[in-house]
Structure 1
Amino acid sequence: MADKTSAGSSGTGAGEDGGIDDMLMHLELCDDELDDVVLGKTAVAEFRKEARWLAIGKVLTTKSFSAEALFEKMKAIWNLSREPGCREAGKNLYIFQMHCLGDWKKVVHQGPWTFRRCVVMIEEYDGMSDLETVSFTGMYVWAQIHGIPELYRKAVVVDDLARKLGKAKEVQMALKLFYEGNYVRIRVMIDTTKPLMRFVSLSVIGEERMKGRDVA
């Protein structure tokens, strides 16, 4: 770990241009700097317990906004049993600390979440991995598939159709509480780097190709 404190005036120099990694490559550490802070196993075990309920977030936007505005909005949307800890962790990266499993599951596995009409990507975080290596390519959404003939309205068929959209997590065949039309409801992880799929098709040997309308 590096201490970014520097003596003298703050000007633009080679260290700033090359970044902290470049600076460290040219440093010769003295004995005092090599005197480690040692963490005991008991302390580390406690830290890892808390890390079970960490999450990392990223807002998909190029517009500027304040971290405080994001934190306050997400706390209001999530309405968790205990107020989460929040901190800015890098360029458009944010760490959220929940305090129980139920709150953590809600933040990480429910959604999708939005902030000022922009998607907030949430991933679980172990508290150790390099923040810049966290991948934010997938997002769970609810989608509808319309127009499936009754003959083929079977869980195994719908599951295969759902997988065309992305990684299927849940399929709802009977929508008594949400009934609004002739469709099935699915929860899938879509790849945010690709265009949304508007249709999924079903082919039966010897019959005409059927196209089911997908509405995210």
Structure 2
Amino acid sequence: GGVNTVSRGFGRVKEDYRLCLVGRVLTDSVVHFPSMIRTWANLWHLLGGVSITDIGEKRVLFIFHYEVDINRVIEGMPWSFNRHLIIFHPMGPGEDPLQVPLIYIEFWLQNHNLPMEVISEGLARQFGNSIGQFVQYDSSLVTRGIRRYMQIWVKIDVRMPLK
């Protein structure tokens, strides 16, 4: 799949909002738009391609052609460009890509050296909420006794310092 780009401007999104992401690179520096597009095209290897538009206010709109492609990008988060994190927001019905808050990023965190008997979803929830907002807990391998760490998916407000 190819990458179609528009360097500036934004018209009304007529495409299915479920296939759209809006994003921004977490940096105060100027981002070289063509380099960013080449980097993502090389990393993502999309089946159906994506249209990428610089919509201003340091925001970029991504319109994917296939659901499998947008899902691959979402599942691969977090992404970065030139060592700067990129915040993506999946568009919802009626949302304006220039207005949605781009302030949250989600990560898998690992807490190592915990005794197996204390690892639980309750502890994961408590730990996740102490850092940001708990999203989910991966218990799949812990229950088989393979891991000696807890893996937690958390949502973090990038405006706040880490605790």
Give the structure-2-normalised TM-score: 0.77
Work out whether 1:135 is the aligned partner of 2:135.
no
What are the ranges of 5 or more consecutive residues in structure 2 without an aligned counterpart?
Answer: 1-12
The aligned amino acid for 1:194 is: M
SS at match of 2:16: helix
Higher helix share: 1
Higher strand share: 2
In the alignment, which residue of structure 2 is the partner of 1:161? Answer: 127
Larger radius of gyration: 1
Q: 1:82 aligns with which of 41, 48, 57?
A: 48
Change (3 A) 1:188 1:97: same
Matching of residues 59-138 of structure 1 within 5 Å: 59-126=25-92, 129-138=95-104
Q: What number of residue pairs does the alignment pair up?
A: 149
Q: Give the Å deviation of 1:127.
A: 7.7
Structure 1's consecutive aligned runs of 4 or more residues displaced over 6 angstroms after TM superposition are none
Q: Percent identity?
A: 21
What are the ranges of 5 or more consecutive residues in structure 1 without an aligned counterpart?
Answer: 1-46, 198-216
Change (3 A) 1:180 1:120: farther
Distance 2:31 2:99 in 1: 23
Give the structure-1-normalised TM-score: 0.60
Across the aligned residues of Structure 1 and Structure 2, the Cα RMSD in angstroms comes to 2.6
SS at match of 2:46: coil
Distance 1:128 1:70 in 2: 27
In the alignment, which residue of structure 2 is the partner of 1:212? Answer: none
SS at match of 2:101: coil
